[in-house]
Each structure stands twice: as C-alpha cells, then as structure tokens.
Structure 1
Amino acid sequence: MALSFVITTSLFVILCLLHYYRCLARNLSTAKASGIPYVVLPWNVFHLFWLATHTVWLPILELLPTSWTSSWLRFMHPEWAYLLGYKVFEDLGTDIFLTVSSGRLQLFIADAEVINQVTTRRNDFPKPLQMYKRLDIYGKNVVSTEGSTWRQHRKVTAPSFSEKNNELVFTETLHHAQALLRLWTDPSGREIKTIQDPAADTMRFALYVISRAGFGVRVLWPHEENEKQTGGPYETFVGSKPPPGHKLSYKDAISSLLENIMWTQVFPKWFLANSPFKFHKTIYTAMLEWGKYMEELYEAKKLEINSGQKTEGLDLFGALINGSGTMAGQKQALSDSDILGNAFVFMLAGHETTANVLHFSMVYLALNCSSQKHLQEDTDRILNGKPVNEWAYEEEFPKFFAGMGAAVMNETLRVMQPIINIPKSTEKGRPQTITVQGSQLVVPGDCTVSLNAAAVHRNPRYWPCVSEGSRNDLDQFRPERWLLKTNESNPSSTSNHTEEFDDEDMTGPSGPDTSSFLFKPVKGSYIPFSEGYRSCLGRRFSQVEILAAFAVIFREYSVELAVDEFATDEQIESMPKGGSERMKIWQKAADRADYLLRNTCTSIITLQMRDHHIPLRVVKRGSERFFFE
C-alpha cells in the first residue's frame, strides 16, 4: 500500500515537472521569436497562490546564492514595479521587456511611444476582462466590458461626466473639506490634534463627495448629525442610523463594502454568505444592503425623471438614468442591472483615487515645506481673501488648474500612481506588431501587457529635473518641475492637442489632462488616468475635487508631520523654534515617513498604504512647529 502511494506520488510529481518544462520551453521559444528582450522567471508572480504566499517563499529564495538569482529574484515580489520604478528598465537597458514563466508571458512597457500605440489600438490590445469580472457585483459596466457592449456602456456613461456635474463636485467638495477641517482641528486653536490615520479620513471625505455628486445623497459627518440641514428638493441626508427596512446605514453599507472590496474579488457571493468567518458574512450583508440602497435611489430618480424634474447637471446617477432612456415609452439603452453596475463602478473608482491623491499630497507637502509654502502663496494670490461661500467653479477652478495646486496634484500622481501596471492584453492566436525606436517587434498572442506607470513616470527621456547638480531626481517629489519659467514656452507644446476618436460617442473625459500653463508631458509618458479610449471618465471629476480641497485646507492651515512617537508636545515646546533639536526630531519622523512611502504601499485595486500610517497635524498658518527653510 505504502509502495503504491509512493509510486503514484512520484509519477504525479514527474508529470507536473514535465508539464512545467514543456510550458516554459514553449513560452521561452515564443519570447525569443518576438525580438523583445526578456527575463525568465521560475513561475508566474501574479498567480493567486504566489500572491497569497510570497511572503513565505521570498525569504527562502533570498538565501540562495546570488549567482543563481541575480537575473530574476527582484521580479518575484508582486510589487516590484512600485518598489523599483524605472531602475529595472535602466538596468536591462530597454524600455520594453517580457517576463517569461511556465504559466504566463507578460510585457512591461515604459516607452511613451509604445504606450501610445497600445492605447490607440484598442481592438488589438483589449483589456483582460477576466481581471474585472468580479466587478460585476450588481451588473455589467463600462469597466468590465469590451467590444460593442463596451461601446454601448461608454456612449451612455460618458455624458454623465459633464461640466454641470463638475460644478456640483466643486460645491460639494467645499462643504466636505470644511467639515473635514472641523474634524482635524480645534476651531479655538487651543488644542492641536494628531491625525493618526489621515488616509482613513480622506477616504471618508472622497466617499462623501462622490455620494452627493454621484447619487444626490448628502452623508453627514458625526459632528453634523445634530445640526439642521438644508438642501435642494433632490437632496437626501443620511446619518449613522439605518432607516426602516435596512440592517446597515447608508454610509456603513458602502464603507464596509468598499473597504473590503478585495474579498469580493477573491470569493463569489455564495461563499461569503456561507463562510464560517463573521467578517465575510458582514461583507455579504454590506453587498446586499448597498444593492437595496441603489435600487431605492434608482426608483426615486426614475420618478423624478418621469415627472419632469430637472436632472441634467446634477448627480451622475440621475444623468446616467436619464441618458439610458428611462423616460416613459422609451427603449432603455442599458438594462436596470447595467445601470446599477455602472453606478457601483462610479462609486468605487470615484473615491479611491481621489482619496489617495489627497492623502499622499498632504504627506509629501509635510515633508517638503518649501513646496507647501509655495502652494499657500499661490492659493492666497488666486483667492485674494475671498471667502469660501463666494468661490465659483467657473472662476476659481481654471486658476487652480494652472497653478501650484495642479503642480502638486500632478506630481503626486506622477510619483504615487493609483494603478502601477495598467493592464491590456493580446488575444490568443493574435500576435501584434509594434514599433520600438524604429524597429518592428512582435507582441505574442495571449500575452498580458502592462503599461508601467511607475517606470514611464520616472523615465529620464521624458521628464525635467529640478534639483541643481542632480543627474536624476525623478524618484523625488518635486512639484516645481511642472512650473514653466516666466516667458518660457512649453517645451512639449506640440503634444498639447485634443485627443481624436473614431466615433463622436467614444470621446474621452472633458478637458485636458494638464493645463497649458504647466509642463506638458510627452503623450504616453504621463498616464495616471490611463490614456486613449479607455482613459478614466472621471478624470476631471477627480481633478476638481482635489484642487478645491487643497484650496480650502491650505488657505488657512499648514500640514506637519506628527512627532508623538519621538517627543511630547511639552518637550517640543521647550526646544528653540527653528533650532537643531527640533530639526532632529522632525528628521526622525521624516525618515520614517519616507521609508513607509517607498516600501510599504500595496496594490489591490489602487496603490495604498494599508498596514501603516503616517500621522499628521493640521495647524493654523503661523503656528507651525516644523517649518524649515
């Protein structure tokens, strides 16, 4: 019996090894024939098993002799693209290369021209839809579809992101940014609060903005719940208590779902519902509850539309329903489930990226005091003392978009991209020819294609340096690189053109990606919102929200690193202001923050700092403890 088991096991292992060798040899032969430089890996880094267990195996692999692992070990960390940036491409001497394993061929691109080829040839390089099928929690959507189905979704969803909606985003951001400051600060100025987890607060802020601008629902902060609320006839106010018929409040349902979205991507609904783990069942409950809220909002907005109430220029959900043809007697362009699917994707995509940019910007500005002062001075110049209640989108936003606030936003998106590797693919049996610096190369069929934002955003072929005497400061946060010198023409002005599409229904998001008054990157070299037909529809939505939030925060306040871990408030106050003692304490906090930014972020949907925090303090301008020239 034992002998039989040993023989069976041995045969199974031998067959597995033969299959592994055969697949690796096949993929290696394909890579050689492509003409593209390649790196051979022992297995597919993005396989689910490796993603779940790499922390166990990597320390073991690192014990092997360097001569065995030098060519491939650094690629075995799933976050290698974020950790290493452009250095990998620089070391390989190429801006495009393949990784080859027995399970997968994967192409990584840090060449702007090639990126442009891929994004404009959407039929040749479609999205790998298997990566997005779990986003169909409530229905198909513009993210999870391709071909003619995607065209229909795009045609209906794109008009929702209008200038009227951007105006609503601006107004709602002003409200919630002021509410966020009330959470972070003591209006009397007698107490300075340490914000232990600013990322969680910016996530709530962005969620509340998209809730109103996306769904017409004003979510109340805890300190607002006892205050009288007023709003338009379309406005719904929700607090922390669930309404009749619900187990969770509106904000608890969506917060719980979005904070745990990873589990919905790993496990199907039936597993979460029957899992022995309580938090899985909580996520399932949140999925059901948010679905009920969306259905209720859907029915309410259909009544508004059919009764002739004005919906154009209000929330995204209303515009989406109106554009899909819900008027009595019309044929709907999208099914009810498709409308709900797109509404969910609006919510998911509409808050994470913005929240991350606001969080990381504040940390970088706390680390770079001169850039923060520059932002404050530019904000003062633009507003000239005008109170918040007099700000107007059409007047203020263009100025913000052409100033230091936009430079800070753009630079944060450059060094801390929401999506590190933007995924594309080639279909099985359909290899595609690309041109790389004048040479024709072949991308194999059934190949995953990654537009490596972390690398192309640091490629010295496309970006100016700021630091004098520095050969390359592209790993550093330097928003001044976006500011053109007085009377200097835009060095890349020839690339500042309007995107051309083959169908007027397939147009991209409104407005340019960067202002003509700022440095204009070469097309394909700056892709935080992707590029081409599949670029992010909510780009302008996010830009408006970020810049309005900057203006509210930095017109009266400064952001500093909290140093509670290294010294008490009393100890800091006893040190001379601007002296070396304070500087040493600040430097400890700065070194810790810099390390965490460079080494601890992970990608699930977007790049975030999930298991670590960089505490901050928001203080009145003029009361800074750690502003050093």
Structure 2
Amino acid sequence: MALSYALAVIATLVAAIVLWNAATLYENYRKAKTTGLPVKIVYIASGAPLWMMFAPLIIPIASYLPFTGSFVAQYRRGWEARVRCRPHVELGDLFIIVTPSGNWLKVANTDVASDILKRKDEFGRDMEAFKVLDIYGKSLATSEGPDWNRHRKVAAVTFTEKNNELVWRESLREGSQMLEYWLHRSPQPMRTLGDDARVFTLNVLAAALFDKSYPFESREESKLREKSGKKDTAVGYRDSLSTILRLIIPILVFGEKVLREAWWLPMSIKKAGFAVSDFRTYVTELINEERALIAQGKQNSPNLVTNLVRACEQDDDGSMNVASSKPRRAILTKDEIISDLFVFAFAGNDTTAITLMHLLAYVSAHPDVQDWISEEIQYHTVGSEVLSWDYDTCVKLKRCWAVVYETLRLCHPLGQLVKTTGNTPRTLRHGDRTFSVPAKTTVEINLAAIHTHPRYWGTESNLTWNPKRFIAGSSLEDETLHADTAEQFFPWAYGRLVCPGKRFSQVELVAVLAACFRDHTVEPVPEKGETIEMARKRTVRLAEDIEMRLLNEMRQPGKVALKWRRRDQP
C-alpha cells in the first residue's frame, strides 16, 4: 500500500512537471511567433542548473542507445560551437530558440550585433547567465549600473603593462618546463593535453595574481608528491582555486554551506565547500597585508592582488594613484575585492587553458604552420635561453599572435555574448525589416556563427583553420598583423565590454608558443592502421568536437596523442 502511494505521488509529480513544461513551452512559442522570425523548438534549456549538472552523465549513456543521434546532437551542451554558422545559413541571421524556461534570440549579423551592444540601456546583461560566478558576492561579471562602473573603474587600472611583463616571463618559464616534461618525463605518446594546459595556466595565474612561482608538474606527478608526504606551504591558493574551478557546478547548485555540512554528499564533492572557504581566507590575508603596506607608504610587487587593492583605495579628490600613500576611501569592499579576484582567476584560467588545448591540437596537425612560426621566433630571439627573451619580443611575434586569433575564431570558450530585453519589448532592425522582440527574451550574439559565416569569411575557407589569413605582407620585415577587433571578429568583445584581461591572455598564449616552437616540433601519433595524414585529420576533428561544461571546450582532449622532438633530430 505504501509503495503504491509513493508511486502515485511520483507519477503525479512527473505529470505536473510535464504539463507545466508543455504549457510554458506553448506560451513561449506563441510569443516567439509574433516576431515573424524563424523559430526552433528545444525541449530542455541548456543553461538549466540541473541539466548542467546531469547532462555529462545522461548524454554519454544516450550516445550508446539506438535512435538517439539527433537527441545527442541537439542536447549535448555547446551545440552552437560545434555547428558554428550552419543554422544561421539555413534559418537566417536571426532566429529564436523556444524552450519551456524561456526564449533565446540568436544573432549572427554584425550590424544587428553592433546595434545591440550600443543600446546598453535597452539590452542589458543577462545576470542569470553569470549567476554561477556569484560565489563570493557581486563582482565585475555580475553587477550592473553604478555598481558595474565601480568594479570596471578598478579593473581598468588593475591590469598593467608591468603585470603583463610578469605574465610574459612566467609563461616562458612554465612553457619551457612543460615542454621539458613532454620531452623527457611524460609517457609517450603524450595524452594529457587538457590536464597539462590547466596546470600551465594555473601556475601562470598564481604568479600574476600573487607573485608566487610554481615549477610545472603534471597531475600524476602532483599526486605522487602528495602521497610521498612532501608538503608545499604555498599551494593553498592554487589548490583551492583549482578545486573551485573543477567543481563550480555543484557549488552553484548546493552552495558553500550545504557542501561543507551535508553528510549525504561524497567527500569528492564536499571538498568544494572547503575550497571556497580556504580561498576566501587566503585572499583576505593577502588583502590585509597589502592594506598594511599602503598605510606604511610602502610598495609591494606589481601583481594583480596588490594592484587591485591599491586601485580600490581612492584619494579624497577622486583620483586613483596606485603608488600614492595619501589617506584614501575604499571603492570596493573586501568581499567585492575577493569576488573580483575570483572572477579574474576564473576568466584567466579556464578560458586560456581551453584555448591552449585547441591551439596545440591545431598546430600539431599543421607542420607548415609550425615551420612558419618557428622561422619568426628564431628571427626575433637571440639564443635558446628562453628566460632571457625580453618582453618587447612579444609584440614582434605577429605570426604567433595570428595563431592565437585563428584558434579563437574557430573555437571560442564563450561562443556567445549574452544580453536580455529585460521587462520591456525591444525593436531590432535587420535589413529593411523591423522586429519587435518580446520582453524577457535572452539575446545571444553568436560569436561561433559570426566568426565563421561565409558572408564575412568567404565560402572556401570559412571553416578551415588558417592563421595566415590574419597576416599581410610577403616577408618577416614587412609583415603586419590584422586587428584583434573588427566588425566580424571580436573574441575579447570591444568598447566598454572589452575583457580587462585581454592583453594578459594574449601575452600568455604567445609566450607559450614561443617557448615550445622555436626549436621543437610536435605531431599527432597515428593509431593502429592510420597514416600520419589520417592522424592529423583526426586531431582536427577532436579539436572541433566541442562540449559545453561551464565553457565550450574540447570534449575528449585525452584522445589527442602527441609526440615532441627537437627540430635537429630526425
């Protein structure tokens, strides 16, 4: 009897959920049809927290079942990054995706995108899309209006050329150590592209944020060191941040308090709650130390923590002189500083690590590009002592910058710039037509589509990885690099929304290219029965098989098998 009652309750709940979803789907469909735009129905919203958490479990199972191919293709998160411009070529520059939880207007037209970005008071930021970053409270990523202006004012003077110079040096150091690992310590072939990219970016970030340098070691080497009992007193920041980034979805779903106290959660997930607390404690200590130095009129090293804390102390006349020791009033609270530092760390680590994965996979499949950038690196660097290369060298490596640009064009970690109409219908003009977009519609400027649309990139090579498209000139002496921002190419956004760490990420990626490819080459290792050309094509397919976890990233980086060697070795 009890079992029957329980089953009846469950059936009733399931029926209620199904009916509610059907009703809201119909209502959202009705609203979408009033626009006159093409409509595409999707039954599960990819941004729903529960789907974000359980999709990685459901989709792999579904992929092994019969007749589920279209379901997997549609509902495996990050489908926009996989299909790129194709839906817009079929449906048009603007179309609406209808789901039970809301409507999404997809935009792949540069004129319309520019109009949306200019009308910041009408098309505001979709704060729900950034809620996952609210671990420590409001930040630059999760604020609007006057609060956003306060955070932006501080961020603008936090990322300095002095800090970028530190990033250059540390990226060269970590890049050369990572290369040394791939050459001599890693199993052959090397299948740890994803893990190694994240270790590299996390170590560079540690230097940039806190001026703490770590030797490169693989995940396996870290585990062996921990098992041996060797203690590193300076890993608190790095390890806590690494845990938060890896388990950010459970943190969003459960929250810090539940994660720490819930007896029913496995320790592998519970430790995320302790990592959130540890990171807060660690950063608070550094903030207090820096504020004490400010009070004493002393200057610390130019890392992001010191820059941010000093930028948050505003002179009475409203100026922001980072080096000044005059009495000041705080622009941001301590919690806001911690939150901004976390957002900088999140943005600076995962986005760059993901880009590095794609970049190395693409370059490994294109030996001609390796020769092309090696020629440039050797031309502009003196000697093979990587750490002696001056920061001024960075801007000279135009071909390396082009490799970064082209990789982001095809494989951007974000893929969409997200806006919303808010509580008011908004009008958009496209060509000779004007459309009324309903209230509470999410508007997504589709970078994956704009960056590959044949209208802007031609029909022959719009989906082909070719860094040379960003270089003009016939020789190293007269080559010029195309701009990193154009109407059809804006991977770091632009204007008031430009990524404050744009130069940071550019310098980091160019440096690791320089460190790895001056005197060395890499190639995919063929599987049984493959030729080297077949292995290269398979590696490109793996690079372009993207899944969205929190960001768009390579779905199976562990299947990319690489082998490195010196150029002077056969």
Which TM-score bucket, shorter chain as reference? 0.7 to 0.9
Deviates more, 1:77-86 or 1:544-553: 77-86
RMSD: 3.4
Question: Residue 426 of structure 1 aligns to which amino acid in structure 2?
Answer: T
Question: Residue 315 of structure 1 aligns to which amino acid in structure 2?
Answer: N
Which residue of 2 is the match for residue 351 of structure 1? 349
Give CA-to-partner distance per residue, 1:16-71, whole Å, 9 cap, x none: 6664454333322322222322223344344344442552896699849x9xx8xx
1:525 matches 2:499: no
Q: Where do 1:443-592 residues align within 5 Å? A: 443-464=437-458, 471-486=459-474, 517-520=480-483, 523-563=486-526, 565-566=527-528, 584-592=530-538
Which residue of 1 is the match for residue 131 of structure 2? 133
Q: Distance in 2 between matches of 1:10 and 1:174?
A: 59
1:321 matches 2:309: yes
Which residue of 2 is the match for residue 120 of structure 1? 118
Q: Distance in 2 between matches of 1:264 and 1:11?
A: 30
Q: Distance in 2 between matches of 1:122 and 1:610?
A: 38
Aligned residues: 542
Question: Residue 418 of structure 2 aligns to which amino acid in structure 1?
Answer: P
Q: Where do 1:2-401 residues align within 5 Å? A: 19-51=20-52, 52-53=54-55, 55=59, 63=67, 75-92=74-91, 94-186=92-184, 193-221=188-216, 241-243=231-233, 249-273=236-260, 274=262, 275-311=264-300, 314-325=302-313, 329-383=327-381, 385=383, 387-393=385-391, 395-400=392-397
Question: Residue 91 of structure 1 aligns to which amino acid in structure 2?
Answer: E
Q: Distance in 1 between matches of 2:183 and 2:500?
A: 34
Give CA-to-partner distance per residue, 1:95-144, whole Å, 9 cap, x none: 11101233211111111122212222222222221232332223321011
Give CA-to-partner distance per residue, 1:300-329, whole Å, 9 cap, x none: 222232222334x81111111001018674
CA contact (8 A) 1:169 1:213 kept: yes
CA contact (8 A) 2:546 2:552 kept: no
Give CA-to-partner distance per residue, 1:214-245, whole Å, 9 cap, x none: 2222223459xxxxxxxxxxxxxxx97253xx
Q: 1:423 aligns with which of 415, 418, 422?
A: 418
SS at match of 2:565: strand
CA contact (8 A) 1:559 1:618 kept: yes
Deviation at 1:558, TM superposition (A): 1.0
Q: 2:405 aligns with which of 407, 410, 418?
A: 410
Give CA-to-partner distance per residue, 1:449-479, whole Å, 9 cap, x none: 1121111111011125xxxxxx422222111
Give CA-to-partner distance per residue, 1:467-524, whole Å, 9 cap, x none: xxxx42222211112122449xxxxxxxxxxxxxxxxxxxxxxxxxxx9923448834
CA contact (8 A) 1:112 1:523 kept: no
CA contact (8 A) 1:185 1:619 kept: yes
SS at match of 1:547: helix
Deviation at 1:12, TM superposition (A): 7.1
Q: Distance in 2 between matches of 1:623 and 1:548?
A: 24
CA contact (8 A) 2:411 2:544 kept: no
Q: Which runs of 5+ in 2 are unaligned?
A: 219-228, 315-324
CA contact (8 A) 1:82 1:454 kept: yes
Question: Residue 448 of structure 1 aligns to which amino acid in structure 2?
Answer: T
Cα distance change of structure 1 residues 516 and 134 upon mapping to structure 2, 3 Å threshold: farther
Q: Distance in 1 between matches of 2:407 and 2:101?
A: 35
**TM (normalized to structure 1)?**
0.78
Deviation at 1:4, TM superposition (A): 9.9
Q: Distance in 1 between matches of 2:23 and 2:265?
A: 40
Cα distance change of structure 1 residues 531 and 263 upon mapping to structure 2, 3 Å threshold: farther
Q: Distance in 1 between matches of 2:566 and 2:145?
A: 53
Q: 1 or 2, which has the higher helix percentage?
A: 2
Q: Distance in 1 between matches of 2:212 and 2:291?
A: 15
Deviates more, 1:382-391 or 1:158-167: 382-391
CA contact (8 A) 1:112 1:525 kept: yes
SS at match of 1:180: helix
SS at match of 1:81: helix
CA contact (8 A) 1:566 1:588 kept: no
Question: Residue 616 of structure 1 aligns to which amino acid in structure 2?
Answer: L
Cα distance change of structure 1 residues 203 and 329 upon mapping to structure 2, 3 Å threshold: same
Q: Which runs of 5+ in 1 are unaligned?
A: 224-238, 465-470, 488-514, 568-583, 625-629
SS at match of 2:25: helix
Cα distance change of structure 1 residues 385 and 612 upon mapping to structure 2, 3 Å threshold: closer
Give CA-to-partner distance per residue, 1:158-217, whole Å, 9 cap, x none: 111122221221122222222222222249xxx995322022112111111111112222
Q: Distance in 2 between matches of 1:167 and 1:346?
A: 17
Q: Distance in 2 between matches of 1:309 and 1:554?
A: 41
Give CA-to-partner distance per residue, 1:66-105, whole Å, 9 cap, x none: 9xx8xx995444322122111111122x111101233211
Which residue of 1 is the match for residue 224 of structure 2? none
**TM (normalized to structure 2)?**
0.85
Q: Distance in 2 between matches of 1:106 and 1:586?
A: 43
SS at match of 2:443: strand
Q: Distance in 2 between matches of 1:414 and 1:450?
A: 17
Q: Distance in 2 between matches of 1:385 and 1:56?
A: 49
